[in-house]
Homo-oligomer: A and B are copies of this chain.
Amino acid sequence: MATQIQKDLVKSNEQYASNFTEGHLALPPAKKYLVVTCMDARIDPKSAFGISLGDAHIIRNAGGNATDALRSILISQHLLGTREIVLVKHTGCGMLTFTNEAAHEVVGKQGGKIEKDLDFQPFPELEEAVRGDVAWLKGNEGLIGREISGWVYEVETGKVRQVV
């Protein structure tokens, strides 16, 4: 039995596909860059950062986390021809609101069994986290010589600003 979310997906997609004209796009991103950002529901990277279909890889996870994204970044940069990395974290991020200890407690209370040492990778300060992730990527021996910048997106205003 399909859920409402599944039914809505099918219905929306029928309309999208009926107007679809971009089936010719190539696999490697045309503008040879990738964006790492948060999974947050309030971020639309395509519109907010001016990305046209086919331009760039978009990697998203909780917090716009660089270490989580590394496998994808290496594939993008070494196997699919991208040369530049744009990392964007954002104001009001969920990752600013809890500690690892608190997260494990909540999951446990809800009956979720997870590894005791799972690192949810929360961060207490936004711009510091951007700087830290960019520094980590710049120091990664798999990514030497790549252009890497770090940004903050404001979910309250729609504005993005460069941090590093």
Alpha-carbon gap, A113 to B158, bound state (A): 37
Q: How far is the CB of A133 from chain B (nearest CB, A)?
A: 15
Alpha-carbon gap, A76 to B162, bound state (A): 27
Q: How far is the CB of A132 from chain B (nearest CB, A)?
A: 17
Q: Which of these, B6, B49, B58, B98, contacts A13 with CB under 8 Å? A: B49
Alpha-carbon gap, A49 to B79, bound state (A): 27
**Is A68 interfacial (CB-CB < 8 Å)?**
yes
Question: Which residues of A does B touch, CB under 8 Å?
Answer: 2-3, 5-6, 8-13, 15-17, 19-20, 22-23, 25, 27-31, 33-34, 39-42, 44, 46-50, 53-62, 65, 68-69, 71-72, 74-80, 84, 86, 92, 94-95, 97-98, 103, 106-107, 110-114, 118-121, 141-144, 147, 149, 151, 155-160, 162
